[in-house]
Amino acid sequence: MAGRSGKFAGDDPFVLVRSWLKEATASEPNDPNAIALSTVDADGLPNVRMVLLKDVEDDAFVFYTNYESQKAQELDQAGKAAFVLHWKSLHRQVRVRGLITKEDGPKADEYYASRSLPSRLGAWASRQSQPLSSRTALMAEVAKVTATKGTNPARPPYWGGYRLTPVEIEFWADGDHRLHDRFRWRRATVDAPWDVQRLNP
């Protein structure tokens, strides 16, 4: 497509996301892989929260959470989600929309094992999104889990990953006088070829 050069160049949107993320890792002060993940509840009311993107695969994006959390319930119910990566240091963002599937196998085990021990124990101790009487109660649960699970706890059955396979990815970069550059990659299904269009700012 004409005009897709420089920072927008390439024929694979996943390679482009990885390239932008690599640049952001060098310039963004905190969590360059933070995404604002958007879901909807059973009534269609939106929810959004920050989550860490853990992998950009060849055809999908992967993040992890507690399967009993509100976000997981909404992901399971709708089977669709959206997120945005925003890098203030680069004046760029990437918007993604697509279909959701669980990552609940060896890859989730591997990622869980790579986390720090306190984070692994915390995944066992926290009943994410459920009411909590006090911080003291949470820390008591962490101590209990630490005593029972030891130094190499297995991944909890209610904790794992989600894979978002996109049908739309939009790359946005700040332009002078608010004349931003936007390119939208869109496909009818996850197996269809991408169509790329430049959008008005």
pLDDT at residue 1, rounded to an integer = 46
Instruction: Of 70, 75, 52, give the one whose Cα is nearest residue 62.
Output: 52
Q: What is the pTM of this model?
A: 0.92
In this structure, are residues 153 and 175 in contact, taking their beta carbons and an 8 Å threshold? Answer: no
Higher pLDDT, 131 or 5: 131
Report, as an integer, the average pLDDT of 106-127.
95
How does the average pLDDT of the chain come out, rounded?
Answer: 94
Q: Which residues contact 6 (CB under 8 A, 6 or more apart)?
A: none
Q: What is the pLDDT of residue 2?
A: 47
- The answer, yes or no, to whether residue 175 has pLDDT greater than 90, is no
Which of 4-8, 100-104, 126-130 shows the lowest mean pLDDT across its residues?
4-8
Residues with catalytic annotation? Answer: 178
Q: Classify burial at 99, counting beta carbons within 10 Å of its beta carbon; exposed 0-12, middle 13-18, buried 19 or more.
A: middle
